[in-house]
């Protein structure tokens, strides 16, 4: 056994000597002009494999440093094993912590242990070239594991730990392996780094971040007396570009001018790029014009800068000027200009650039050019061309997939977007970009596909993008828009950190799902978190105030947008107009409208609708005439608002006129929604036969909403015969939602046909529809108080019920009689009167009489249509209390005063 081992060792020694001699010949012929590998190396032959070079280098080191008496010293296996774990060395500093292997049993991966071990035992205080050669190998292989092992061995040799040239080599190797923090720790220990190393470190931070450290290193370099050169300034200016640090950039520009480098091609190009990205276009142009020589990179910097700011004309003009001056555009030029062409949807210009690509042999197979062309066609909504380019590309990266998916989402082709995403996953793509996930989540939200959205959520977690803020916000928005508010709130609570978009998404989601109170609660949390709102946030908060009719909250929100400088935003002003109108202050809506520097079509429509729900039809018509007189053409939404305003004010003739003018004068084809408004207008006016004739003449098949509007009119005017006919049609179509079931049931009950009413209610229950209970609420001194009919859960319920009974006694003396036809149950007359007394709106009014001063107006909101008996009772209550009462129901506002209502009993 001993003889066998000895033979193996002799054989290994012989092989090692041969390999070492091979390295010596290779080094002489290829690596350097001396007998040892050193810093004067030439480039390696491409035919040599890196593993061959490593093996030869390590064998040469053993041969050179361990030869004793003409033979290679061998080591017992046990001693070799004992040297594998070196974690006991140098554990005091952070640098050693960073390079420590995971555990004591970690083996030296691809570096031969005898080489490092032998260098350690040799303890050479003079020659560091072997370490430099090993580090050079790490640079080529990009192996951070190897460089950490070598660094640990160097730290174990006190003679080498302070060698500046070796430390520089270690720092350079760490940078090449993208281990910037380790490189910085080594760099900080070098007493006088070379200009080259300063540049390397500044470049590392300017490319990888954080950018501010690159600028800090530049200042340290200047303070230490090292003169920056023409390479330093481009690197640090790139960091200024990344931070948009204009002041720092100007300071560095002045420094370059003082040292005479402000005319250098590389420095000037970096200055142009910095000024462009900092939004200082005039300075960029000035630097560009003063350049003594310009190459294509300098031209591209200008083109990219203009494109970055969305300046289409300037971008195209500069490309044309570039060609006039004899500089041909490169693929980088095309990749810069195509996004801005897509942004302005200039399809003609995009096709021209595509033709240029073909003529100049910039084939779409080039992944960058192909992706840019694809994205341009997608943004121009020319998806056929985009898809053809996508199919022709043999190589696709994550940006390519994002572009085609985003294009389909942009053009509302959500199903196709999902299909492309599925294709991407089936092809086994491992580099799905966050943008792809954000786009596909938008598609899921648009299709209300919760199951697919949850599967995408799993993919996001798998790819590790849950920490990406854009993807997380897209997930949050998806859950909110598909109506899964519980999932949205759970995900929102788990998010850390949260930004403005996160709060905006969940606030809008709460409003869309009818939870306005929770939306305001989240907004308060947002304020406490010191997260500043933006216009999108407040566009979500203001509708929450509208839904609750919380005027005081709305006024606070108005003040908030003023403080944050958002009051001039058109979207904010439109939301304020809507909020004040729905909170009963249409006069404040008009003030906001009149103070707007510019109104868009949404502003006019919102104001017209505001007049409509307050029964101010004539004001709505006058405003419409003003809009047309100012030269703004109405759209289809305008006529929905206008005809609805006529309906709420009983202006049947005017409503019919505008319905016909819509198509005959303004060329707008009526949609189903316009017919619904007309049926409602004619039905409220009692023209039931005319409404029925209009339905029969509709150019499209009337849906259940149209018949529902006529059924509501039959219920109001007690036309049982027509109501039964309409109800049969609705039964055939299938009632849509709870409303039509309730109308049918109420109509039968009013006709005392309780069996049929019970059948409708049973059918409603079998189909899973539930009637929302009547609920009314009122805001008093910033607190919203809600009441449900017959409910006694409010803390002041006993006082409220007593006050309501007192009011009933008083209004009966004035002639009030309960209209029991609105009680739809087959019960005794006295029970019907008792049931009518405790409707939610009456409870809210009684509560207001108890808690508000006599000169304060009463404003009540109800989730359903106010019943006829309550409408009559409230008119009498205004006479008894001598107070103005406003009730906002599901359809409109009722302004009660001195025994009258502004609706004229027409609602």
Q: What is the pLDDT of residues 641-655, one digit of tens each?
A: 999 999 988 899 999
> Same domain for 259 and 324?
no
Residues 6 or more apart in contact with residue 874 via CB below 8 angstroms: 841, 842, 845, 885, 887, 894, 896, 901
90-104, 327-341, 522-536: segment of lowest average pLDDT: 90-104
Query: In terms of domains, do 752 and 720 share one?
Result: yes
Residue-wise pLDDT for 584-617, tens only, equals: 999 999 999 999 999 999 999 999 999 999 999 9
pLDDT of residue 4: 47
How far apart CA 443 and CA 416 sit, in angstroms, is 10
Evaluate whether residue 560 is within a structural domain. no
Contact call for residues 460 and 466 (beta carbons, < 8 A):
yes
Selection from 13-27, 543-557, 810-824 with the highest mean pLDDT = 543-557
Contact present, 447 and 416 (Cβ < 8 Å): no
Q: Residue 396 above 90 pLDDT?
A: no
- 125: confidence class by pLDDT, cuts 50, 70, 90: very low
Domain that holds residue 252: 192-293
pLDDT at residue 137 above 80? no
Mean pLDDT computed over 700-708: 87
Q: What is the longest distance spanned by two Cα atoms in the chain?
A: 131
Domain assignment present for 516: no
| Residue 680: inside a domain | yes
How does residue 127 score in pLDDT terms, banded at 50, 70 and 90?
Answer: low
Q: Which pLDDT score, from 0 to 100, does residue 905 have?
A: 74
* Residue 402 pLDDT: 92
Give the model's pLDDT for residue 789. 82
Residue labelled with tokens 């276009």: 281
Residue 491 lies in a domain: no
Tell me the pLDDT band of 209, cut-offs 50, 70 and 90.
confident
Domain edge (last residue) among 274, 293, 312 = 293
What does the pLDDT read at residue 90? Answer: 32
Q: Write down the pLDDT at residue 138.
A: 74
CATH number at residue 719: 1.25.40
Task: Determine the average pLDDT of the residues in 569-578.
Answer: 96
Confidence of residue 77 (pLDDT cuts 50, 70, 90): very low
CA quadruple 567, 573, 578, 583: dihedral positive or negative?
positive
| Cα(598)–Cα(568) distance, integer angstroms | 9
- Strand-pair partners of 888: 861, 893
365 within a domain of the structure (yes/no): yes
Averaged pLDDT, 170-188 = 84
- Residue 712 has which token pair? 């509501």
Per-residue pLDDT for 748 more than 60?
yes
Chain centre distance of CA 455: 19
DSSP 3-state assignment of 854? coil
Sorted by sequence, the CB contacts under 8 Å of residue 138 that are 6+ apart come out as: 146, 147, 150, 173, 176, 177
Handedness of CA 30, 36, 37, 41 (dihedral sign): negative
pLDDT score for 834: 64
Displacement of CA 8 from its chain's centroid (Å): 67
With CA atoms as reference, report the closest residue to 680 among 641, 725, 713, 639: 713
Q: Write the pLDDT tens digit of every residue in 57-70.
A: 444 444 443 433 33
Tokens of 62: 């053993």
Residue 892 has a pLDDT of 85
| Domain assignment present for 649 | no
Instruction: Tell me, yes or no, whether 141 lies in a domain.
Output: yes
782, two tokens:
């910033």
218: pLDDT confidence band, cut at 50, 70 and 90? very high
% of the chain surpassing 90 pLDDT? 45
In this structure, the answer to whether residues 225 and 319 fall within a common structural domain is: no
- What average pLDDT score do residues 394-405 get? 89
Q: Is the pLDDT of residue 96 over 60?
A: no
Task: Indicate the pLDDT class of residue 904, thresholds 50, 70 and 90.
Answer: confident
Q: Quick one: 692 and 763 in the same domain?
A: yes
Residue 810 pLDDT: 93
Query: Do 888 and 786 fall within a single domain?
Result: yes
| pLDDT for position 301 | 93
The model's pLDDT over 829-862, given as tens digits with 9 standing for 90+, comes to 555 566 678 889 999 999 999 999 888 889 999 9
Residue 22 CB-density burial (10 A; 0-12 exposed, 13-18 middle, 19+ buried): middle
| pLDDT at residue number 657 | 96
State mean pLDDT over 31-56: 42
Average of per-residue pLDDT across 625-650: 94
**374 and 424 fall within a common domain:** no
One domain for residues 105 and 19: no
- Tokens 């209004």 -> residue: 811
Within this chain, do residues 289 and 342 fall inside the same structural domain, yes or no?
no
Contact 291, 262 (CB under 8 A): no
pTM score: 0.71
- Domain boundary at 247, 265, 293, which? 293
The residue to which tokens 């070379």 are assigned: 194
End residue of a domain, out of 250, 276, 293: 293
767: confidence class by pLDDT, cuts 50, 70, 90: low
* Residue 248 predicted with pLDDT over 50: yes
pLDDT at 38: 38
What are 858's strand-pairing partners?
Answer: 885
Residue 58 makes CB contacts below 8 A (sequence gap 6+) with 111, 112, 114, 115, 134
Place of tokens 């630097």: 287
Q: Please give the Cα distance from 883 to 854 (Å, whole number).
A: 7
Are 167 and 206 contained in the same domain? Answer: no
129 and 68 in one domain?
no
Check whether 765 has a pLDDT greater than 70. no
Shared domain check, 138 and 110: yes
> Looking at the domain assignment, is residue 595 inside a domain?
no
Note the pLDDT of residue 157: 65
Greater pLDDT, 238 or 111: 238
The percentage of residues in the chain with a pLDDT greater than 70, rounded to a whole number, is 78
- Residue 895 host element (H or E): strand 893-897
Looking at the fold, whether 181 and 286 belong to one and the same domain comes out as no
Q: How many domains does the chain have?
A: 7
Residue 588 has what pLDDT?
96
CA–CA–CA angle 350, 353, 355 (5° rounding): 110
């Amino acid at each position: 056994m001993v003889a066998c081992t000895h033979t193996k060792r002799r054989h290994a020694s012989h092989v090692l000597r041969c390999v070492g001699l091979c390295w010596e010949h290779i080094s002489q012929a290829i690596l350097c002009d001396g007998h040892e590998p050193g810093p004067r190396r030439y480039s390696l032959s491409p035919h040599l494999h890196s593993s061959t070079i490593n093996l030869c280098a390590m064998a040469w080191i053993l041969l050179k440093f361990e030869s004793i008496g003409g033979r290679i010293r061998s080591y017992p296996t046990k001693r070799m094993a004992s040297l594998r774990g070196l974690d006991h060395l140098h554990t005091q500093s952070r640098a050693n912590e960073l390079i420590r292997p995971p555990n004591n049993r970690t083996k030296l991966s691809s570096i031969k242990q005898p080489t490092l071990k032998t260098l350690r035992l040799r303890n050479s205080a003079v020659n560091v070239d072997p370490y430099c050669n090993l580090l050079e190998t790490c640079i080529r292989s990009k192996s951070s594991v190897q460089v950490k092992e070598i660094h640990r061995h160097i730290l174990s040799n006190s003679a080498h730990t302070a060698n500046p040239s070796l430390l520089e080599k270690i720092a350079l190797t760490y940078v090449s392996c993208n281990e910037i923090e380790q490189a910085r720790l080594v760099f900080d220990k070098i007493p006088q780094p070379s200009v080259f190393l300063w540049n390397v470190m500044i470049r590392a931070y300017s490319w990888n971040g954080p950018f501010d450290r690159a600028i800090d290193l530049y200042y340290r370099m200047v303070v230490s007396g090292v003169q920056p050169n023409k390479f330093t300034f481009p690197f640090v200016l790139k960091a200024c570009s990344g931070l948009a640090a204009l002041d720092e950039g100007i300071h560095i520009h002045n420094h370059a001018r003082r040292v005479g480098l402000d005319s250098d091609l590389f420095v000037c190009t970096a200055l142009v790029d910095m000024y462009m990205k900092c939004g200082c276009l005039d300075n960029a142009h000035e630097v560009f014009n003063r350049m003594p020589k310009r190459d294509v990179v300098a031209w591209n910097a200008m083109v990219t800068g203009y494109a970055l700011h969305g300046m289409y004309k300037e971008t195209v003009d500069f490309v044309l000027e570039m060609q006039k001056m004899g500089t041909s555009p490169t693929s980088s030029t095309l990749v810069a200009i195509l996004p801005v062409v897509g942004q302005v949807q200039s399809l003609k210009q995009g096709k021209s650039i595509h033709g240029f690509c073909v003529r100049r042999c910039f084939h779409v197979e080039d992944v960058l050019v192909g992706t840019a062309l694809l994205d341009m066609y997608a943004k121009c909504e020319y998806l056929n061309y985009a898809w053809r380019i996508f199919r022709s590309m043999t190589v696709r990266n994550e940006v390519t997939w994002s572009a085609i998916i985003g294009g389909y989402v942009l053009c509302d082709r959500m199903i196709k977007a999902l299909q492309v995403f599925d294709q991407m996953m089936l092809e086994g793509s491992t580099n799905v970009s966050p943008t792809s996930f954000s786009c596909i989540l938008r598609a899921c939200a648009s299709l209300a596909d919760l199951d697919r959205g949850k599967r995408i959520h799993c993919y996001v977690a798998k790819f590790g993008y849950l920490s990406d803020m854009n993807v997380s916000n897209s997930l949050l928005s998806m859950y909110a828009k598909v109506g899964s508010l519980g999932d949205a709130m759970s995900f929102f609570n788990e998010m850390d950190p949260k930004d403005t978009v996160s709060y905006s998404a969940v606030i809008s989601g709460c409003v869309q799902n009818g939870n306005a109170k929770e939306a305001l609660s989240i907004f308060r949390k947002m304020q406490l978190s010191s997260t500043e709102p933006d216009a999108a946030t407040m566009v979500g908060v203001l509708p929450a105030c509208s839904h609750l009719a919380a005027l005081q909250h709305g006024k606070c929100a108005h003040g908030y947008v003023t403080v944050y400088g958002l009051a001039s935003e058109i979207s904010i002003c439109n939301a304020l107009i809507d909020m004040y109108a729905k909170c009963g202050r249409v006069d404040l809506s008009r003030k906001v409208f009149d103070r707007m520097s510019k109104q868009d079509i949404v502003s006019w429509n919102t104001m017209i609708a505001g007049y409509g729900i307050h029964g101010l039809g004539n004001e709505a018509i006058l405003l419409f005439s003003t809009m047309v007189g100012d030269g703004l053409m109405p759209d289809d939404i305008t006529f929905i608002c206008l005809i609805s305003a006529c309906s709420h004010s009983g202006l049947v003739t005017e409503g019919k006129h505008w319905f016909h003018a819509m198509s005959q004068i303004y060329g707008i084809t009526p949609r189903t929604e316009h017919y619904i408004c007309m049926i409602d207008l004619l039905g409220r006016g009692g023209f039931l036969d005319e409404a029925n004739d209009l339905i029969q003449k509709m150019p499209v098949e009337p849906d259940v909403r149209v018949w529902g509007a006529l059924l509501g009119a039959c219920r109001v005017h007690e036309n049982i015969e027509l109501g039964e006919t309409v109800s049969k049609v609705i039964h055939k179509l299938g009632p849509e939602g709870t409303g039509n079931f309730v109308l049918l049931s109420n109509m039968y009950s009013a006709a005392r046909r309780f069996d049929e009413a019970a059948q409708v209610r049973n059918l409603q229950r079998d189909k899973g529809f539930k009637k929302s209970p009547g609920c009314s609420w009122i805001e008093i001194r910033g607190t919203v108080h809600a009441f449900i009919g017959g409910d006694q859960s409010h803390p002041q319920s006993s006082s409220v019920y007593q006050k309501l009974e007192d009011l009933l006694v008083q209004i009966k003396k004035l002639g009030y009689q309960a209209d029991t036809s609105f009680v739809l149950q087959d019960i005794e007359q006295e029970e019907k009167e008792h049931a009518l007394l405790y409707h939610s709106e009456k409870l809210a009014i009684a509560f207001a009489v108890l808690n508000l001063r006599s000169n304060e107006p009463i404003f009540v909101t109800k989730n359903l249509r106010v019943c006829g008996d309550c409408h009559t009772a409230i008119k009498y209550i205004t006479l008894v209390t001598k107070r103005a009462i406003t009730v906002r129901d599901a359809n409109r506002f009722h302004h009660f005063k001195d025994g009258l209502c502004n609706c004229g009993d027409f609602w």
